Homo-oligomer: A and B are copies of this chain.
Amino acid sequence: MNDTFLKACRGEKTDYTPVWFMRQAGRYLPEYQKVRGTVTFLELCKRPDLAVEVTLQPIDIFGMDAAILFSDILIPMEAMNLKLEFHEGRGPVFPNPVRDQKGVDNLIVPDPDATMDFVMETIRLLRKELKVPLIGFSGAPFTLATYLIEGGSSKVFLETKKMMYQQPEVYHGLMRKITECTSLYLQAQARAGAQALQIFDSWAGVLAPCDYEEFAMPYVSSIISDLRKVTDVPLIYFANNGSTLIEHTVTVGADVLGLDWRIKIQDAVAKVGNHALQGNLDPIALFLPKDKMRKRIGAIVEGAKDAKGHIFNLGHGIVPQVPPEQVRIAVDAIHELSAR
């Protein structure tokens, strides 16, 4: 069992910097495409045998130090009683977005073991196979709410912010329900065997700091506080595009803070180096020629050396166009350049 990742999360000494990549089980891999070609995206999320297969692929191929459950942050939103569709090239769509109190009232807080057993079964199966730790995950309440309110992806998050500003009671009621669902969902993942949990706040960075503080952060803190009562697995919080929120995000209680690539990691260390940090290579930097990629990886490893712990990752999900060979070069470089 390679527990380097868990040690780094806990701020313990490691022989080298552990690495995993967001979306490492994904479309850039021909092996993934082969499996994905036989089913829809939602079917792939719901078939434990196939979800296990694609979760294992990057570990087997590149030797990542952690696996992340193959799933989607919107799976529990579907279980809340919302119709969810994935349209090729357009991303997720909720045909009936939540825009008023009636929409909030229609949502249920599901029993995750009953409604999402396929996730728990995937976790149980993965634990039998894996020689590295398994990360479970969820979306953060604000990020999930944006999809529910907008009805899918968005650019300026007009409907979400309009609800925050003009119907704050409706908004907070929605957030309470999403938060309860997410909290139970992550607890169930820990019970099923997830050895670390990451909360993805993909859209936190569209909020002004004062809005983040009022409309997003308290719900993340609440989930983490719930989790602390029932599990001691490391908790990772990734607020994407959140470098200006870092003084806030450090207070939510996570063991590890995820960083996107917009901040020099040494600047993050200077601010919150008493936390373990995860990141932060620009995903497109995987297209750098080998020598330059190694140099950039070395700079991140070096820049993070005084952090309480460092898990190497991309600053956002890997893109489908990356040649797998470049991923191999990156993973090898991270291991080699960080060897102590």
Chain A residues packing against B (C-beta within 8 Å) = 156-158, 161-162, 165-166, 205, 207-211, 241, 243-245, 261-264, 267, 282-285, 287-289, 292, 296, 299, 315, 319, 321
* A263, B262: Cα distance in complex, Å: 14
A296: chain B residues at CB < 8 Å are 210
* A319, B296: Cα distance in complex, Å: 38
A288: chain B residues at CB < 8 Å are 165-166
Q: Are B262 and A205 in contact (CB under 8 A)?
A: yes
- In the A-B complex, list the 10 residue pairs whose CB atoms are closest, starting with the nearest: A161-B284, A243-B244, A165-B288, A208-B261, A244-B262, A244-B263, A208-B282, A162-B287, A165-B287, A209-B264
Q: Taking the nearest CB of chain B, how far is it from the CB of A42, in angstroms?
A: 22
Q: List 22 A-B contacts (CB under 8 A).
A: A156-B283, A157-B284, A158-B284, A158-B321, A161-B282, A161-B284, A165-B285, A165-B288, A165-B289, A166-B287, A166-B288, A205-B262, A207-B262, A209-B262, A209-B263, A241-B262, A243-B243, A244-B244, A244-B262, A244-B264, A244-B267, A245-B262
A285: chain B residues at CB < 8 Å are 161, 165, 208
Q: Are A319 and B158 in contact (CB under 8 A)?
A: yes
Q: Are B209 and A287 in contact (CB under 8 A)?
A: no
